[in-house]
Amino acid sequence: MGRIDGPGPGGPETEGSTAERRRVVDALLSLCCERGFPNVTLPMLLERADVDRAAFEREFADLEDCFLQTYVGFRDDLMGRIARTVEREPTWRERIRAVAYTMVEYMEVDELRTHFIVIEVRRAGERALLAMEEAFEEMFDLLDAGRGERDGGGPSRAIAEAVGGTIFLRMNAAFEEGSLEDVRAKIPEMMYMAVLPYLGPEAAEEELRAPVPPRAGGRLP
C-alpha cells in the first residue's frame, strides 16, 4: 500500500493538496458522523465545505471517490505507522502488542476520523469494503507470523483470520458502545486471544495481567 504520513486536521494530504480538498475532507468527516455516509449528498457536502462543484471535480470523480480517497489516505497512514512499529519490536508477541496500542493511539487522536474509518467504511459500498479488507489481510499476516513461534509450525492461516476477525469485531463494538478508553482497556483481552493459539495458555494468561499504559495524549508525530 502507498503510505501517506502525518495527516493534519484537514485529513490525508497528498502532493499538491489544495485548501479546497482539505475543506471537503473535513466536511465529509463531520457529515458522516452526523448523518452517516448513505445520507450524505454531494450538494450537502459542497455547502458544508464551501467549495463549488468545479473545485470538487478537480480533486474527486464523485462522492464515492471522495470517500474512497479519504479512507485510503487514512488507512495507508495507519498501516505505515504499524509497519514502523513492527520494525522496532524484537519478538512476534511484542510486535502484536505494540501494534494493538499503535492502532488505539491513532484512534484516540481524532474521534471524527476514527468514526469514519471504523464505522462509515462499512456503510460506503463495495469498493470501500475491499479497501478495508486489504488492511485486514496485512493484519492477518502479522498474526499468522506467530506460526514461526512453535517448533514444527503452528495453526493454519485460517486461525489468524478467525482470531483477527474476532478481535476487530470486538474493537469495533467497544468503540460503538463506549469510549476509546474502553477500547484501550480491552487490549489485554484481545492479546490473550491473539497469543493463545500460538504460544499457549500460560503466555496468554500473562497478557491478561499485563498493565495497560495510559493514554499518551496530544497529536501523533
The CATH number of residue 160's host domain is: 1.10.357.10
Does residue 14 lie in a domain region?
no
- The model's pLDDT over 15-40, given as tens digits with 9 standing for 90+, comes to 445 889 999 999 999 999 999 999 99
Q: Can you tell me the distance from the alpha carbon of 42 to that of 110, in angstroms, rounded to the nearest whole number?
A: 24
- The model's pLDDT over 40-65, given as tens digits with 9 standing for 90+, comes to 999 999 999 999 999 999 999 999 99
Q: Can you tell me the distance from the alpha carbon of 19 to that of 156, in angstroms, rounded to the nearest whole number?
A: 48
Q: Can you tell me the distance from the alpha carbon of 112 to that of 186, in angstroms, rounded to the nearest whole number?
A: 21
Does residue 221 lie in a domain region?
no
Does residue 214 lie in a domain region?
no
List of residues 6+ apart from 182 with CB closer than 8 A: 174, 175
Q: What is the DSSP string of 175-186?
A: HHHS-HHHHHHT
Total domains in the fold of the chain: 1
- The one-character DSSP state at 175 is H
**Backbone dihedral angles phi then psi of residue 11, each to the nearest 5 degrees:** 95, -175
- The model's pLDDT over 123-156, given as tens digits with 9 standing for 90+, comes to 999 999 999 999 999 999 999 999 888 766 678 8
Confidence label for 216 from pLDDT (cuts 50, 70 and 90)? low
State yes or no: pLDDT of 4 exceeds 50.
Answer: no
Does residue 54 lie in a domain region?
yes
CA diameter of the chain? 61
Q: Count CA within 13 A, CB hemisphere, residue 175.
A: 21
Query: Nearest-CA neighbor of 142 among 192, 82, 75?
Result: 82
Does residue 89 lie in a domain region?
yes
State yes or no: pLDDT of 204 exceeds 90.
Answer: yes
